[in-house]
Structure 1
């Protein structure tokens, strides 16, 4: 299912057919990328299923097409809902599935695969019972589909299914509605719920985070938790040292916010950054639809498209510059953000160099994926092909925030829809010129589709920072992006890899090339669902040349359910040379619910 080398897919803005050009001498047929059909949607939805086996095995040579780079050394971890509750009596949103961690360890051109479920307290009890016992954020009515429903019981199961990070000798499975679960980074055995050595006083911890490189060469895990209650909403930021110690804890109230839905965060040199979409809790819906088991608690969060989004800048403590900055809340056009790319601070155009009398507060640049709107009623059971006809689209945008002036300028970077953006981890919190994201292959001003490719964006670092050229302002600039043959803003170049007509791509993971410090020098790893074979694949792409196709494709002998987020650790966690380890092991079987 791999495309030929050098294949480049590009859609004309006036056509629904992607054209393919290539420098390869082989004949490449045109790829039809029209509006999403019911058949395409069925194939995409086959991704949302369970994997009921736990494995540990060596990736054999006949599973690999191409060559795994011999210098690729370390472990790719990925978390996602590996166990779905899809009994027609109580089928659930995929986000409520139980977390499953996979690891793929690389060394000397070989790979070793493991997957284990996060054995949360709720998972263990439900496996013993053989049926659902607990509700969750997207559950409609009772846990088991019965009429016995207590709508005021908002104690949900920690599914630990969203993020994953190896830190200070522990592997953490993360879910924003509960505490982290510790796991063994080698065996993937669950060790238990964690309060991070007593650092966490609340009962939630964000699934997203940023790992920064400090000036002294050390790394920091920057994380957050959000809380809502009768006393209002607030957000707390944490910074952890490489040995696991908490270095800073910063709490910040979110004024005028009834329900804080914060899925991701960013960090720059001096700020923690979140974007609050105009989402409010609908009390009337809670007292009617929710109480009657017609919607979940998550569906009571309603997008308010007539209200602005807000960029919240919270100063980081203890920065080497010694700057003392004030918190800022800046309004911008309505949008909702699940996932960010990166943020950095920039001098104002024409300002003196740092230390030369420049402004106390720099501009803050936020590159993010902005959704036009959002509905938490959309899931794998409730939407059809019409969902991909206009409606809520996800765009890569640049927000240039001026804390002193209290303004935000928004710049759309790309026509095609994207999600799961990633940057080179070596530039987290600093200026970047490259980005990667899962993308649709329709690339049309109106129609779009699920992620079937990965796009690489080369971005002028000063985009949006220079005085705007004449030409009609933001609306005209966005229109030029939609109608341009390249489908990109001025100062942006795109390169796209297409996984295949019946293949669907998860979040890409950037892995730096050992010994290199150049931004973008490395590989992308991505899990792919092949709807034709109903099995999983993991591709390794040259991050600087996506359209050349994978340098290696690992075809797994089983499916990979929908994943959410992953991470990379430079430590190899597969069997050591000389270990007497079976080449194939089935570690356990999970009961369907």
Structure 2
């Protein structure tokens, strides 16, 4: 008999959902733009069985992939588990076999040496396949429409890395998926690799190198000429795992680095630039280079943003220092200095989960969107959220003019990561739509909202209404009908 623990990660807004199913022709409020022809895939962690440990991390749940299929002004919904090796083994046993988040020392002996990945962090269509990704394991392949699981891939056995990132980027010039991997030779190792996958899904390159220290390498940046890695001290050691502590912890005594690797170079060409102070940064809006000068846009907080990965030295969590602000880091590959050339704040909005018009990835972007926390607005939902953040606004920045606009979702609602969809394939940058899941924490329903990307202050032009509330998701992406046909 299933019984989930009465802890923060499994109750309230984070209670497990565990629903697989289909809904044809969701109820629509407003009108879905007829130009929207394709799919929006997103994923959330959702444990199929109660965990082995009551204090397990939210991020340790099995990947549940949601599909919103747009066609003819209609939106269909489908949801399936990503059937990882872990999911299959536990399904056969009828209960959890894998232990704490990224801690194989806590697993049932029957699954020793098995892939622990959950494919619960990001999903993206490339080469006609759906990539379901978690950065501690190989990439899982699924069918983008049926959501049938095909299995893990090593790209024809050519990829040497044991892991694959959760935040690949598509180079619009080449069509290559630009990715990376860390702990490529085993858990807690400093080994990394830069990877490119061709438009047909073949391995194009894999450049191995070493990180200054082991840490969570969740995201990165890609420019036309460089791959850019920010190293932030969310760190771990075997001693932490042996002691049963959370896998990661924040260590303010370690420096922050920005590693820059020429995409057509070798590991010998990488340079590591040291930040002026130790800060927290996770997701990346975009990166671009002007010659040898590299610009890297990321939300930066002065303190640890992750209360569930506490400070390794016991420092208390500071929710004010944890507030991130979009910031531009700039370094120059021709500089004789190994320090940042500049650190420039780009907005006064407290924001995370930044996105751009992905057709302009690797190049200078003029529009960006992100989730925004506005602590001055009323909130009627439950308190005690695991992240401490209430993302109640959607923000837009026009970098050409400096204009900032936003839309407040209301006192009962929080927003999940936005995604930009161009109005037409050749539309100008930023001309299109923003789609995002909006969660009403009082009525317990979710809507997929559609907004005009340059007029978000006007609010949604359409809502596809679900009869359930989706669990908090991590990331997702749009694929137009043409890429699905591939």
Range 93-102 or range 394-403, more displaced: 394-403
Q: Distance in 2 between matches of 1:335 and 1:44?
A: 30
Q: What's the counterpart of residue 404 of structure 1?
A: 334
Matched, 1:434 2:367: yes
Q: Distance in 1 between matches of 2:435 and 2:153?
A: 29
| Residues 83-232 of structure 1 aligned to structure 2 (within 5 Å) | 83=47, 90-137=54-101, 142=106, 157-214=116-173, 218-227=174-183
Deviation at 1:387, TM superposition (A): 5.9
Unmatched segments (≥5 aa) in structure 1 = 1-41, 347-360, 381-385, 461-490, 575-593
Q: Is the 8 A contact 1:93 1:379 kept in 2?
A: no
Range 369-378 or range 202-211, more displaced: 369-378
Q: Distance in 1 between matches of 2:372 and 2:268?
A: 37
Q: What's the counterpart of residue 309 of structure 1?
A: 256
Unmatched segments (≥5 aa) in structure 2 = 1-7, 311-315, 378-387
Q: Is the 8 A contact 2:85 2:115 kept in 1?
A: no
Deviations along 1:373-432, whole A, 9 cap, x unmatched? Answer: 33766179xxxxx96741322221111112222332111122332111101111100011
Q: Distance in 2 between matches of 1:415 and 1:85?
A: 42
| Residues 449-488 of structure 1 aligned to structure 2 (within 5 Å) | 449-460=389-400
Range 187-196 or range 222-231, more displaced: 222-231
Q: Match for 1:395 among 325, 328, 331?
A: 325
Q: Match for 2:29 among 65, 73, 98?
A: 65
Q: Is the 8 A contact 1:234 1:260 kept in 2?
A: no
Matched, 1:538 2:448: yes
Q: Distance in 2 between matches of 1:86 and 1:278?
A: 31
| Residues 254-403 of structure 1 aligned to structure 2 (within 5 Å) | 254=211, 256-257=212-213, 259-282=214-237, 286=240, 290-293=241-244, 295-296=245-246, 298=247, 301-317=248-264, 326-332=269-275, 333-346=277-290, 362-374=292-304, 378=308, 389-403=319-333
| Residues 68-79 of structure 1 aligned to structure 2 (within 5 Å) | 68-79=32-43
Q: Match for 2:420 among 483, 507, 510?
A: 510
Q: Distance in 2 between matches of 1:393 and 1:402?
A: 28
SS in 1 for 2:403: strand
Q: Distance in 1 between matches of 2:116 and 2:166?
A: 15
Deviations along 1:332-382, whole A, 9 cap, x unmatched? Answer: 131232210101112xxxxxxxxxxxxxx52111111223233766179xx
Deviation at 1:433, TM superposition (A): 1.3
Could you say if the C-alpha distance between residues 232 and 129 of structure 1 is closer, same or farther in structure 2, counting changes exceeding 3 Å?
Answer: closer
Matched, 1:233 2:190: yes
SS in 2 for 1:262: coil
Could you say if the C-alpha distance between residues 337 and 231 of structure 1 is closer, same or farther in structure 2, counting changes exceeding 3 Å?
Answer: closer
Could you say if the C-alpha distance between residues 189 and 170 of structure 1 is closer, same or farther in structure 2, counting changes exceeding 3 Å?
Answer: same
| Residues 27-46 of structure 1 aligned to structure 2 (within 5 Å) | 46=12
Q: Is the 8 A contact 1:105 1:572 kept in 2?
A: no
SS in 2 for 1:414: strand
SS in 2 for 1:308: coil
Q: Distance in 2 between matches of 1:280 and 1:78?
A: 27
Q: What's the counterpart of residue 3 of structure 2?
A: none
Could you tell me the TM-score, scaled by structure 1's length? 0.71
Q: Is the 8 A contact 1:416 1:442 kept in 2?
A: no
Q: Distance in 1 between matches of 2:11 and 2:348?
A: 25
Deviation at 1:454, TM superposition (A): 0.9
Matched, 1:549 2:459: yes
Q: Is the 8 A contact 1:135 1:142 kept in 2?
A: yes
Could you say if the C-alpha distance between residues 157 and 81 of structure 1 is closer, same or farther in structure 2, counting changes exceeding 3 Å?
Answer: same
Residues matched between the structures, number: 458
Q: Distance in 2 between matches of 1:267 and 1:573?
A: 22
SS in 2 for 1:492: coil
Q: Is the 8 A contact 2:215 2:232 kept in 1?
A: no
Q: Distance in 2 between matches of 1:195 and 1:120?
A: 14
Q: Is the 8 A contact 2:261 2:267 kept in 1?
A: no
SS in 1 for 2:274: strand
Q: Match for 1:248 among 205, 209, 216?
A: 205
Q: Distance in 2 between matches of 1:449 and 1:230?
A: 30
Deviation at 1:282, TM superposition (A): 4.8
Q: Is the 8 A contact 2:196 2:203 kept in 1?
A: yes
